[in-house]
Amino acid sequence: MRPDLLRFAHWLARDRAIAEDIVQEALLRAWRSRDALKDPSAARPWLLTIVRREHARLYERKRLELVSLDEVVETQASPRIPEPGGELFALRHAIMRLPIEYREPLLLQVLGGFSTEEIARELALSATAVLTRLFRARNKLRVICGLTAAPDVAPTEKLP
């Protein structure tokens, strides 16, 4: 069952080396508590559960370095406040002029860092609808900013 466990751990950790460590630890834990397994036919789900919990333990033990908030504030430059007439101000103004159905997915993607699937779930839309709205939002922004819009459909070449 090791290949299945390794595949599952790799899917969880997204790193082959970490996945191998997780499986190794999981198999050690399973060996130590092998008496707890009452039904041998349930070994696969039991081992997968141990792998999942071992993956969670990996991040449970990980402690991030704490820094003083005052120290961080002093070292970072103050955020740039958009000046009226500046490019950043114009872009923010253009975004706010977008209809809500285009503005919302664009802000979720650009500022929130959400994936297409996450935006689709959040807005109760299909992934295709989200992609369409993102495309149209960017096109509308181009027009508002005085640029030419990207074509809706790829141009077809005429055959001789």
pLDDT of residue 159 exceeding 50: no
Instruction: Convert the pLDDT of each residue in 85-95 to its tens digit.
Output: 677 777 888 88
Q: Domains along the chain?
A: 2-61 (no CATH), 87-144 (1.10.10.10)
CA dihedral 18, 21, 23, 26 (to 10 degrees): -120
CB 9 within 8 A of CB 22: yes
Q: Which tokens belong to 99?
A: 């209809």
Instruction: Convert the pLDDT of each residue in 17-49 to its tens digit.
Output: 999 999 999 999 999 998 888 888 889 889 999
pLDDT band at 158 (very low <50, low <70, confident <90, very high): very low
- What's residue 113's pLDDT? 82
- What's residue 52's pLDDT? 92
Sign of CA dihedral 36, 42, 43, 46: negative
Stretch among 17-21, 57-61, 121-125, 153-157 having the lowest mean pLDDT: 153-157
Average confidence (pLDDT) over 135-147: 87
What integer best gives the mean pLDDT of the chain? 82
Average confidence (pLDDT) over 64-82: 63
Cα distances (Å, whole numbers) of residue 112 to 11, 108, 109, 122: 24, 5, 6, 12
User: For the whole model, what pTM was predicted?
Assistant: 0.44
- What's residue 147's pLDDT? 79
**d(C-alpha 15, C-alpha 62), whole Å:** 16
Average confidence (pLDDT) over 130-138: 93
CB 118 within 8 A of CB 127: no
Three-state SS letters, the chain: CHHHHHHHHHHHHCCHHHHHHHHHHHHHHHHHCHHHCCCHHHHHHHHHHHHHHHHHHHHHHCCCCCCCHHHHHHHCCCCCCCCCCCHHHHHHHHHHHCCHHHHHHHHHHHCCCCCHHHHHHHHCCCHHHHHHHHHHHHHHHHHHCCCCCCCCCCCCCCCC
- What's residue 26's pLDDT? 94
- What's residue 36's pLDDT? 87
